Structure 1
Amino acid sequence: MQEDYRRWYSHHLGRDIEMLVYGNWGYPVVLFPTSMGRYYQYKDFSMIETVRWFVETGKVKLYCIDSIDRDSWYAKHLHPGTRIWNHVLYDRFLHEELVPGIQRECNVQKIGVAGASFGGYYALNFAFRHPEQVGHLLTMGAAFNIRSFLGGYYDENVYFNNPPDFMPNAHNDDFYRMNIVLGTSEYDFCKGSNYQMSEILNRKGIRHRLDVMPWGDHDWPVWKQQFPTYLSMI
């Protein structure tokens, strides 16, 4: 399986973002790490091995990228306004730098985004903020309300990066063209967040799949079973 290490300098962030890219060609899927995870996390936990067939046969090309959690959501030493602003800069890096580069590299109009746990928040938030760039959204064991990270602080940036807040009022035709899978499991402590998001989408008439596995909790064995199943839907 082709594996490439890359460093992408972001002008918005003023730093390099590291990533591992799997595959020579195929439909591009950006894979976001879990809380405080690094770009090599899905390799270390053998998640990439579960989708080897999709990569080696050229069905998908995976971009496992770094987060900046230590400077945003988990940077407790920073003022909440600074934390959310750092996330806004990360979103601009994705929207204006990384994703357009992937679109050119793979010659596609839209990409896929995916992630487990907090990576699922990143995937869904990006997809719903920029639906014109995303054709497939796959989340596993995710929660989507980030207010608890900010100790009561609230501003416009929080609103537009908290999907349970902005999605009820969002309008975009691309929502109705997106393949959306919300994956969770019976004993996942994030299950309620998935039901809540599913209800928001139902009220808007946005087609999606809420997949609740009848066993398992918030852990890698569940996500490693879900990921290849969800990729097969692309």
Structure 2
Amino acid sequence: MQETYRPFYSHALGHDVEMLVFGERGYPVIVFPTSGGRYYQAKDFGLVDAAASLIDSGKIRLYCVDSVDGYSWYGQHLPPQERLHNHVRYDQMLTEELVPMLQRENSVPKVAVAGCSFGGYHALNFAFRHPSQVSYLFSMGAKFDISNFLGGYHNDDLYFNNPPAYIPAAQDDNFYHMGIVLGSAVDDFCKQGNIEMSEILNRKGIRHWLDIRPYGTHDWPVWRDMFPEYLAQIEA
């Protein structure tokens, strides 16, 4: 498959964002790395290879983007306000720079988002904060409640980036037109969080698939099994 290193300058962040793109054409899927992971993580851990047939056939195109977790959610060396501000800037990069670029490049009105573990948090949080930009959401082994990440600090930025807190009151017609999969496994320590998120969506009448595999843990083998199955649901 074609692999392209595509860094781009982000005005929101004030520095280059590194990214790998897999495929020449197809529906754009933004893939977020796990906590501490980089833009090449999905390639290194076989997630990209698991989707190779869909990439080679031109059904999808993967955009594996870097994160700023090291100086936002996991930046414990920084004050809570600065960590939150860095995440807000990352969100601005996605919604104002990356997604519009992919919309133009692929001639689509929306994109798909995906991620494993904390990358699944990023995918779901972005999808529900900006549902007019997202058509499909695929989370695998994700943790969604980030209320304890900042040592008890709380403000509106934390609230509106903590999905279990803000989604119950959120209203947007696009929620009801999104393809949503919450993937977990029987021995995944994040399983309960996925069950609870599914209950939140059920109470709002938002269609989704809670996929709890009867095998596996919180690890790449089960995510590699899930990923191509989820991507195959995309209808361009």
CA RMSD of aligned residues (A): 0.5
Which amino acid is the alignment partner of residue 133 of structure 2?
A: Q
Partner Cα distance (1:162, 1:84) in 2 = 12
Match of 1:86 in 2: 86
Partner Cα distance (1:97, 1:131) in 2 = 16
How much does 1:147 deviate? 1.3
Partner Cα distance (1:221, 1:148) in 2 = 28
TM-score by length of 1: 0.99
Q: Does 2:156 correspond to 1:141?
A: no
Match of 1:126 in 2: 126
Partner Cα distance (1:106, 1:181) in 2 = 23
Match of 2:71 in 1: 71
Partner Cα distance (2:110, 2:175) in 1 = 12
Match of 2:23 in 1: 23
How much does 1:54 deviate? 0.4
Find the residue that maps to 1:150 and give its secondary structure: coil
| 1:198-213 aligned within 5 A | 198-213=198-213
Find the residue that maps to 1:197 and give its secondary structure: helix
Which amino acid is the alignment partner of residue 182 of structure 2?
A: L
Which amino acid is the alignment partner of residue 60 of structure 1?
A: I
Q: Does 2:47 correspond to 1:52?
A: no
Structure 2 residue runs without a partner (length 5+): none
Find the residue that maps to 2:214 and give its secondary structure: strand
Match of 1:179 in 2: 179
Find the residue that maps to 2:148 and give its secondary structure: helix
Q: Does 2:192 correspond to 1:195?
A: no
How much does 1:100 deviate? 0.4
Partner Cα distance (2:75, 2:115) in 1 = 21
Give the paired residue count: 234
Query: Runs ≥4 in structure 1, deviation > 4 angstroms?
Result: none
Q: Does 2:159 correspond to 1:159?
A: yes
Find the residue that maps to 1:187 and give its secondary structure: coil
Instruction: Deviation per CA, 1:1-53: give whole Å up to 9, x if none.
Output: 00000111000100100000001110000000001100000111111111101
Partner Cα distance (2:143, 2:199) in 1 = 14
Partner Cα distance (1:233, 1:100) in 2 = 23
Partner Cα distance (2:24, 2:33) in 1 = 22
Find the residue that maps to 1:21 and give its secondary structure: strand
Partner Cα distance (1:161, 1:8) in 2 = 25
Instruction: Deviation per CA, 1:166-204: give whole Å up to 9, x if none.
Output: 100000000000000000000000001100100000000
Partner Cα distance (2:84, 2:190) in 1 = 22
Which amino acid is the alignment partner of residue 9 of structure 2?
A: Y
* Percentage identity across paired residues of the two chains: 60
Q: Does 2:82 correspond to 1:101?
A: no
Partner Cα distance (2:126, 2:222) in 1 = 23
Instruction: Deviation per CA, 1:64-109: give whole Å up to 9, x if none.
Output: 0000011101111111111111000000000000000000000000
Partner Cα distance (2:59, 2:110) in 1 = 15
Partner Cα distance (2:158, 2:69) in 1 = 15
Which amino acid is the alignment partner of residue 151 of structure 2?
A: G
Partner Cα distance (1:16, 1:65) in 2 = 11
Match of 1:233 in 2: 233
How much does 1:148 deviate? 1.7
